[in-house]
């Protein structure tokens, strides 16, 4: 019996999980737009959400889902990368989603990989989220260290958007994409755990056997800064969307 408030939803495969979450999100965007305001989404990168973004693009093209009244905030960005670096999260988000939907460019927010002043950039990012009215729906993946965004082990529950040193495991996982560990940035800017937990609704996607043990720790283990995803356990509206492999150790 899970001792958590967070919901766990197990699907036959990743495409089915992503279609379900995308359909939920489309309904949420429509109902918020009906209230006369923009829907504010927190977005994530990585391989995991790719089928989810593909489904959002399909819903836009084939089923009239509009992002004209959507505002987005990405979780994180590697420090040191220019926007046009192929591995920047700016490039990722434009290639996979923003270039294929009708979101106004001014509604997109991604932390800069090359801010002039890191502290004021982070404070401005937090302020922009508040000015938008807070995040309605936050999408998350999970790293093998249990991180959400880049909130590596030791990230306090109250942490806000800030510079963080990447864990060796996280850098190792990114090495193939960067053509070698030596090319992987050592630091990033990430929304904090506190920033993420203020989202009104949260959906975490995790797929594949490689994520099974950290998914178990996040859902069934102690709530601890050593596994930042464990903070979702007592969020009032957080759900884990898993395939059978990722749920294999629950
Ligand atoms: C990076 C991102 C996370 C993501 C994680 C897992 O660390 N900053 O947001 O959840 O990778 O990536 P993947 O989905 O490729 O396993």
The atom number, within ligand 1, closest to the CA of 89 reads 8
Residue 4: per-residue pLDDT: 53
Give me the residues of the chain with pLDDT under 50, please: 1-3
List of domains in the chain: 7-243 (3.40.50.1360)
**Strand-pair category, 187-190 with 201-206:** unpaired
For the entire predicted model, the pTM comes to 0.96
pLDDT digits (tens, 9 = 90+) for 39-49: 999 999 999 99
Is the beta carbon of 170 within 6 A of some atom in ligand 1? yes
CA 104 – ligand 1 centroid, Å = 26
Is the beta carbon of 46 within 6 A of some atom in ligand 1? yes
Is the beta carbon of 47 within 6 A of some atom in ligand 1? yes
Non-local CB neighbours of 195 within 8 Å, separated by 6+ positions: 126, 129, 159, 160, 161
**Cβ–Cβ < 8 Å for 206, 246:** yes
Tell me the best of 44, 45, 148, 170 to mutate to test the pocket of ligand 1, counting ligand atoms within 8 Å of each CB and taking the most.
45
Residue 2: per-residue pLDDT: 46
Residue 99: per-residue pLDDT: 98
Tell me the best of 147, 172, 229 to mutate to test the pocket of ligand 1, counting ligand atoms within 8 Å of each CB and taking the most.
147
Q: C-alpha dihedral over 60, 77, 161, 132, to 10 degrees?
A: -30
The atom number, within ligand 1, closest to the CA of 211 reads 16
CA 62 to chain centre: 25
Residue 26: per-residue pLDDT: 98
Alpha-carbon gap, residue 199 to 148, rounded angstroms = 13
For residue 204, what is the DSSP state? E
Could you tell me which residues are beta bridge partners of residue 41? 72, 137
5 by DSSP, 3-state: which?
coil
CA 33 – ligand 1 centroid, Å = 29
Is the beta carbon of 4 within 6 A of some atom in ligand 1? no
CA 34 – ligand 1 centroid, Å = 33
Non-local CB neighbours of 131 within 8 Å, separated by 6+ positions: none
Alpha-carbon gap, residue 223 to 35, rounded angstroms = 35
Residue 43: per-residue pLDDT: 98
Residue 164: per-residue pLDDT: 98
Tell me the best of 141, 169, 205 to mutate to test the pocket of ligand 1, counting ligand atoms within 8 Å of each CB and taking the most.
141
């Amino acid at each position: 019996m899970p001792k958590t408030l967070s919901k766990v939803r197990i699907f036959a495969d990743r495409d089915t999980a992503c279609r379900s979450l995308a359909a939920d999100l489309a309904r949420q965007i429509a109902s918020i737009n009906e209230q006369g305001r923009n829907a504010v989404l927190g977005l994530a990168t990585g391989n995991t959400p790719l089928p989810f973004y593909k489904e959002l693009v399909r819903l836009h093209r084939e089923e009239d889902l509009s992002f004209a009244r959507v505002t987005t905030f990405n979780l994180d960005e590697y420090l040191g990368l220019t926007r046009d670096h192929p591995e920047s999260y700016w490039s990722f988000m434009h290639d996979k989603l923003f270039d294929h939907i009708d979101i106004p460019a001014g509604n997109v927010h991604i932390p800069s990989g090359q801010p002039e002043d890191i502290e004021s950039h982070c404070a401005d990012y937090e302020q922009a989220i508040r000015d938008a009215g807070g995040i309605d729906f936050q999408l998350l993946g999970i790293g093998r260290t249990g991180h959400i965004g880049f909130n590596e082990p030791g990230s306090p529950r109250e942490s806000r958007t800030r510079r963080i040193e990447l864990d060796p495991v996280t850098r190792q996982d990114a090495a193939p994409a960067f053509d070698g560990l030596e090319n992987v940035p050592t630091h990033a800017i990430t929304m904090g755990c506190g920033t993420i937990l203020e989202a009104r609704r949260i959906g975490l996607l995790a797929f594949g056997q490689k994520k099974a043990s950290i998914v178990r720790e996040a859902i069934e283990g102690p709530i601890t800064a050593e596994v930042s995803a464990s903070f979702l356990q007592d969020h009032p509206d957080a759900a884990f969307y898993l395939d059978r492999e990722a749920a294999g150790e629950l």
